[in-house]
């Protein structure tokens, strides 16, 4: 087990009567990149701002490398934050933006220029020293914001939805860039996002947050393939969620549809939800005898994938996705098709 760099212990923030962050516990290992993922208002940004020192926690402790920093002023925390708006100083050149933190931390003058140059080199912006932020593209501004914090070699990197202002192509490119840089400098990082694809690409570990609480924490694969709550199954990717009850070793939906239970499921009783990912369902052009049948009620082309909405005889609705390759049959709306899946792709969720 690697060393723990950041620990959040019982971290809580209440505004008025409601809790924005509710008793949050998390350990982040040295060098790890952890993404906070959740819908807007779930408390992920508040948590990040408590770590940065901009929001005072109502309760709980923040430890960095074993030291309690809960009460420390933001300028004494030695963290580098990249803001959603980049927050570059508009009246300073790129070089002065990067040097600002070095001067504030009383780095020797002779050392400032080389470190500014090194940071710019790291993000591939050498030669841009004398430009002003407004003369740079969004992507370049983003890189300057990164260089500005990397030049300080902080204990912790904090990213507050840093890619949400970039266009789609650049956003995807910067994900890989940020991950590469973070691994290169080896600094522990927290990355706040509401974009699940972004979290999946960038993070070593994803912490799914909902209503101020951690729903699930795990690697991107764990989160996607083994969601432990309905919220996670529904929020990460898409999932068909069918609520019902477990009785006599079988799952029975509210509308009366029966399924065999997934393998390796504890024999839980009571209200449950059955989840299956749309791409884990196979469609046959015509249902074979005894197979579950559904009528195509909608067909949508999502880039490389074709999505079908199928109505089952019971009234349950399933969403199914298929690769739209040439030679693969497309199913006409109105036609009746057969459905099947592997039992181990079903998840039974509380």
Partner 1 sequence: MILTFVNALILLFLTAPIIVVVATAFTTTGYPVFPPQGFTLKWFERFLAMPEFTEAVRRSAMLALASTAIAAVLGTFSALALARWQGRGQKAVAALMLSPILFPAIVLGLALLVFYSQIGLAGSFNGLIIAHSLITTPFVIRLVMASLSEFDPALEEAARNLGAGWWRTFLQITLPLIRPGVLAGAVFAFILSFDELVVTLFLAGPGMATLPVRIYTYVEYSSTPTISAISTTLILAWVLIGVPVYVRFLSIKHV
Interaction of residue 132 with partner 1, rule CB under 8 A: no
Dist CA 205 CA 2 (whole Å): 14
Interaction of residue 109 with partner 1, rule CB under 8 A: no
Binding region for partner 1 (CB under 8 A) out of 79-87, 166-174, 213-221, 342-350: 79-87
How many Cα neighbours within 13 Å face the side chain of 264? 5
Interaction of residue 26 with partner 1, rule CB under 8 A: no
Binding region for partner 1 (CB under 8 A) out of 21-29, 49-57, 164-172, 230-238: 49-57
CA dist 6 to 48, 58, 105, Å?
12, 19, 22
Using CB under 8 A, pick the residue from 39, 74, 124, 315 that binds partner 1: 74
CA dist 349 to 231, 261, 274, 318, Å?
10, 12, 6, 17
Alpha helices in the chain (DSSP H): 44-52, 94-104, 109-122, 138-150, 168-185, 196-202, 220-225, 230-235
Min CB(19)–partner 1 separation in Å:
19
Using CB under 8 A, pick the residue from 38, 57, 80, 244 that binds partner 1: 80
Which residue shows structure tokens 């019982």? 10
Min CB(241)–partner 1 separation in Å:
38
Cβ pair 26, 47 in contact under 8 A: no
Dist CA 333 CA 295 (whole Å): 8
Using CB under 8 A, pick the residue from 64, 79, 116, 207 that binds partner 1: 79
Using CB under 8 A, pick the residue from 78, 204, 279, 309 that binds partner 1: 78
Residues in contact with partner 1 by the rule CB under 8 A:
52-54, 73-81, 83-85, 87-91, 100-101, 104-105, 148-149, 152, 158
């Amino acid at each position: 087990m690697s060393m723990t760099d950041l620990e959040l212990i019982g971290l809580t923030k209440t505004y008025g009567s409601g809790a924005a962050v509710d008793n949050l516990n998390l350990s982040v290992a040295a060098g790890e990149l952890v993404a906070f993922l959740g819908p807007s208002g779930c408390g992920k940004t508040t948590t990040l701002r408590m770590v940065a020192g901009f929001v005072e926690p109502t309760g709980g402790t923040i430890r960095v490398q074993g030291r309690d920093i809960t009460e420390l002023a933001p300028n004494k925390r030695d963290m580098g934050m990249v803001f959603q708006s980049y927050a570059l100083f508009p009246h300073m050149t790129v070089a002065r933006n990067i040097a600002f933190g070095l001067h504030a931390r009383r780095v020797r003058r002779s050392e400032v220029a080389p470190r500014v140059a090194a940071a710019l080199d790291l993000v591939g912006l050498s030669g841009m020293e004398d430009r002003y932020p407004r003369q740079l593209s969004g992507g370049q501004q983003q890189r300057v914001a990164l260089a500005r914090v990397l030049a300080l070699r902080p204990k912790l990197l904090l990213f507050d939805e840093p890619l949400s202002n970039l266009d789609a192509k650049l956003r995807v490119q910067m994900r890989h860039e940020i991950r590469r840089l973070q691994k290169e400098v080896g600094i522990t990082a927290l990355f706040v996002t509401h974009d699940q694809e972004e979290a999946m690409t960038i993070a070593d570990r994803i912490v799914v947050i909902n209503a101020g609480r951690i729903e699930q924490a795990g690697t991107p694969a764990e989160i996607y393939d083994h969601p432990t709550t309905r919220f996670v199954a529904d929020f990460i990717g898409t999932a068909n969620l069918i609520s019902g009850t477990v009785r006599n070793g079988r799952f029975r939906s509210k509308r009366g549809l029966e399924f065999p239970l997934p393998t390796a499921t504890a024999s839980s009783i009571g209200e449950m939800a059955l989840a299956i990912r749309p791409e884990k369902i196979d469609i046959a052009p015509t249902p074979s005898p005894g197979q579950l049948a559904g009528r195509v009620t909608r067909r949508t082309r999502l880039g490389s994938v074709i999505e079908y909405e199928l109505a089952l005889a019971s009234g349950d609705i399933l969403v199914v996705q298929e690769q739209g390759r040439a030679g693969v049959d497309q199913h006409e709306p109105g036609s009746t098709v057969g459905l099947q899946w592997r039992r181990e792709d079903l998840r039974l969720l509380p």
